[in-house]
Amino acid sequence: MRIRLADEADAARIRAIYAPIVEETVISFEEDPPSEAEMADRIAETVRRYPWIVFEVQNGDGEGDETDGEIGGYAYAGRHREREAYRWSVDVSVYVAESYRRRGVGRGLYESLVEILRFQGFCNAYAGISLPNPASVALHESLGFEQVGVYESVGYKHGAWHDVGWWQRRLRERPEHPDPPRPLTEVAGTAAFETALGEGESAVEG
C-alpha cells in the first residue's frame, strides 16, 4: 500500500470512484460525472500547482507499471477563490471507494495532503460538506477542522435543496509577511516532499 501523486493515467480509476458519488448522492453537486478525458484534464491542471494524491494497493510484487494497482481513494486541493489575496488558502476534498471505507483511507490521504500543503506554504484549508453527512463531519473534525458556517439551501439536486457546511483548518502560523506558496511542480520529488507524501500511510488499516 502506498500514497503517491496522481497522474493522468489514473483518470479511469479515479472516475470509477467519483461517478457513483455524482450519480447517486449529493456529496458532489455535479450532476453528470466527468468523462475519463475530462478527469485526466482535471488532474493535469491541478498538479501544476496543488497536490492530487491517491491511495494505491499495488498488485502482485509491485514491479512493473507504476500505476498498475487498485486505487482505494484520492484527495486533492485547489484554489479557494480567484483573487490574489486568497492564494494562501485552499479548498480540499477526499473521496474513498466504497470497498475501502472505514479503513482509515480518508484519514491517511488527508494527513498526507495537509503535510504537503504545509510544506508548500499554504496557511488555511477549507472543506465544504453537503449536509447531513455525519461521517464526513466526524472525519474532518477529528483532523482538526472547525466549522465556520453554513450556506443554507445553496444547492438543488435530486429533487431537494441542500445546505453546505464549511470547515476550516489552520495549516501553519500565518506570517506577517508571507512568501507566496510554492507550486507543486517546484517541490515534488524533494526529500521533504516525499516525507510529507508518506505521512498518512500508517493511518490506513492493512
Q: What is the rounded average pLDDT of the residues 152-168?
A: 98
Q: What is the rounded average pLDDT of the residues 108-136?
A: 98
Torsion angle of alpha carbons 86, 124, 52, 38, nearest 10°?
-40
- The pLDDT-based confidence of 25 (bands split at 50, 70, 90) is very high
Distance CA 74, CA 58 (A): 15
Amino acid identity of 112? S
Distance CA 71, CA 194 (A): 19
Q: What is the rounded average pLDDT of the residues 22-43?
A: 98
The domain limits of the chain are: 2-203
**Is pLDDT larger for residue 64 or for residue 191?**
191
CA triple 33-36-37, angle to 5 deg:
115
Q: Is 34 helix (H, G, I), strand (E, B) or coil?
A: coil
Distance CA 190, CA 70 (A): 26
Q: What is the rounded average pLDDT of the residues 123-140?
A: 97
Distance CA 97, CA 77 (A): 18
**Would you state the pLDDT for residue 69?**
87
Instruction: State the residue for C-alpha cell 474532518.
Output: 140
Instruction: State the residue for C-alpha cell 491511495.
Output: 55
Give the pairing type, strands 2-5 and 89-96.
unpaired
pLDDT digits (tens, 9 = 90+) for 50-106: 999 999 998 755 454 444 689 999 999 999 999 999 999 999 999 999 999 999 999
Q: What is the rounded average pLDDT of the residues 113-134?
A: 98
Distance CA 198, CA 156 (A): 38
Q: Is pTM, for the whole model, over 0.85? A: yes
**Would you state the pLDDT for residue 94?**
98
Distance CA 25, CA 30 (A): 10
CATH code for the structural domain at 2-203: 3.40.630.30
Helix crossing, 11-24 with 36-46: angle to 10°?
110
**Would you state the pLDDT for residue 206?**
67
Cis peptide preceding 20, ω within 30 of 0: no
